[in-house]
Amino acid sequence: MEAELVDLLSEQMAIQTNRRVGAGEQRSWSRSIPALVRDLRDANLGGVEMLLEYQLPLSSKRADVVLAGVHPKTGVPSYVIVELKQWSEAEPFEDADNLVSISAYGKRGILHPGVQVAGYCEYLADFTASLANNPHSLSGVAYLHNATDKGVTTLFNRPVDDLSRVFTGQRRAEFIAFLQSKLSTEARGAAAADALIGSKIEPSRQLLEVAATEVQEREQFVLLDEQRTAYELVLHAVERARRANAKTAVVVTGGPGSGKSVIALSLLGELSRQGRSVMHATGSRSFTQTLRRVAGHRKPQVKKMFAYFNQFMTAVPNDLDCLILDEAHRMRETSVDRYTRKEVRANARPQVVELLNAARVPVFLLDEYQVVRPGEMGTVEDIEAHARAEGVVVERVDLVEQFRCGGSELYVDWVLRLLGMRGGGPIPWTGDDNFQVSVVDSPGEIESALERELSEGYNARMAAGYCWPWSDPQRDGTLVEDVQIDGWSRPWNLKGERSVGGAPPSALWASDPAGFGQVGCVYTAQGFEYDAAGVIIGPDLVWRNGHWVSVREANRDPDFKSVKKVDDAQFDRLIRNVYKVLLTRGMRRVTIYSTDPQTRAFLHSLVRV
């Protein structure tokens, strides 16, 4: 029976995530799940439904088990999230409250399981309509059925509530009593499980819509697992730097929607509330301008907390407690530009060194696949090499989960394989309930699909490869419809920082409702998300004879003109990165069109759902 369960779970996980389940994970299932089943039977809770490897909404993160039933006193649906751990020992991690150390994982900080499961509860309550008005129907426990209290004493040092309880095998009787206090012996688990599974999933609270409150008042995002680990490591490093005069760089890597910017704003808000000297910086004009506008709309002084990478050329070393470097893949070789004074230019250092030196704890958040223009230097290897040369300790966290694209690991994997960024080659799109993909035969069909999304209350944007000229507005304020395809035409988003003809400035194209109707490019879309994405693949990337061919002469980006600055191999890599960025902006769906008939036919052959 246990072997059959493991085989079934492995099969389902392979279908849903397109990855092979490792032996360690299978071993964990075979040991932990039967132990939990025995406890439920002994608690006379055989009517409770077990939802195994439950995927949290709009996320690829999974809770080990969600127990679904009804409350013994109220009779309303009641749910207990159970995080199963095989641990038999746990030690404190330095003096951090929310991190522990497990010898089997090496001497590194691991998120406290009570904090982990509490994050799952808060996240599920935030995004599940049936729980939004009744959050008390949700509880969370971490169950270490192999452990005794003595082996994991450190886990009981922090306060607990009904979202973060910890039970060991030694406390099995207490665990059973807790389950009986939350779940009735009545056989109504199936109905409660169906209610949860069938509940409406409310759209994620967009990053930019809550930035102001996040920075000024309180934390509104729930950080899960590696996100919370990164957050706690930075807070711990800042406190350690203050007390011990130590310096640490933290590098956080992750793909689109993995939570890098959520971590950045959460840190900015928390460190500000603690009275630490902290700033947020990016290399993206669009992203920085949007954050300034949204976060500082009530208190203009907040705008000063959002800077650019090149503003730290002459910064006093370690003057800041923490410098949060979002979109760090957009760092340049140096901060020198045409406005740089001659004496400063003569002594210019690598930009990464300037940023390393500017704070006691510089935090680099990046995705190496999002390097889309020549001169961008933000890689983990480069940061670590310069940090070593400066004598700075580096701690790294990889965000393996992703929350954009509806949390669809299948879609992100499909895009990476489609563009040759992951081995195995392009594969058919088999469908995913969390995300919709369609290929159309005209840009007008993209526009119609996006207009339907808008009519249903979602936000939507269309973006394209830089394959058409880009004109300034006419004198009367009308925009030139430069993007012309078979009789269909639309203008690009504005270039400048001033609204013209009702269109928003370029930095606000992705976040201002008036941005719909203009075609965006990678420079205005990068770093943002919208519910529905429309993507026009231009003639600069076409499918020929079983592989992609980059067509340099079809591209109009002035940054790519010089063959000396950008050779053909680099051009090919950057163009694929551009389309990878554009294809992963959507939260709910993407509609794709290629101007090239052969490429369009190839995409149709992959996407038939």
Cα dist. 542→4, 547, 549, 578 in Å? 46, 8, 5, 14
User: Which pLDDT value is given to residue 402?
Assistant: 67
User: Which pLDDT value is given to residue 208?
Assistant: 41
User: Which pLDDT value is given to residue 98?
Assistant: 93
| Residue 231 or 336, more confident | 231
User: Which pLDDT value is given to residue 210?
Assistant: 46
Mean pLDDT, rounded, for 439-456: 96
Beta strands across the sheet bearing 110-111: 91-92, 99-101, 110-111
pLDDT reading at 203 higher than 60: no
User: Which pLDDT value is given to residue 15?
Assistant: 62
- Least confident range from 135-149, 188-202, 215-229, 462-476: namely 215-229
Strands 483-485 and 488-490, sheet pairing = antiparallel
What's the whole-number average pLDDT of the chain? 88
Mean pLDDT, rounded, for 10-35: 73
Mean pLDDT, rounded, for 125-134: 78
- Tens digits of per-residue pLDDT, 387-442? 999 999 999 999 877 666 777 888 999 999 999 999 899 999 998 888 999 999 99
User: Which pLDDT value is given to residue 204?
Assistant: 36
User: Which pLDDT value is given to residue 297?
Assistant: 66
Q: Cα 6 to the chain's mean position, in Å?
A: 29
- Tens digits of per-residue pLDDT, 169-186? 999 999 999 999 999 988
Fold classification of 207-399 (topology level): Rossmann fold (3.40.50)
Query: What is the CATH class of 2-197?
Result: alpha beta
pLDDT reading at 9 higher than 80: no
- Tens digits of per-residue pLDDT, 263-290? 998 898 888 888 888 999 998 888 888 7
User: Which pLDDT value is given to residue 372?
Assistant: 80
What are the boundaries of each domain within the chain? Answer: 2-197, 207-399, 405-606
- Tens digits of per-residue pLDDT, 55-76? 888 777 889 999 999 999 999 9
pLDDT reading at 477 higher than 70: yes
Sign of CA dihedral 560, 564, 569, 574: negative
User: Which pLDDT value is given to residue 221?
Assistant: 67
What is the CB neighbour count within 10 angstroms for residue 537?
24
Q: Is 405-606 the same fold as 207-399? A: yes
H/E stretch holding 244: helix 225-244
Q: Cα 157 to the chain's mean position, in Å?
A: 31
H/E stretch holding 568: helix 568-583
Whole-structure pTM value: 0.78
The Cα 240–Cα 237 span in angstroms is 5
Terminal-to-terminal C-alpha distance of the chain: 35
- Tens digits of per-residue pLDDT, 572-592? 999 999 999 999 999 899 999
Q: If we measure between CA atoms, which residue out of 130, 161, 137 comes closest to residue 78?
A: 137
Fold classification of 405-606 (topology level): Rossmann fold (3.40.50)
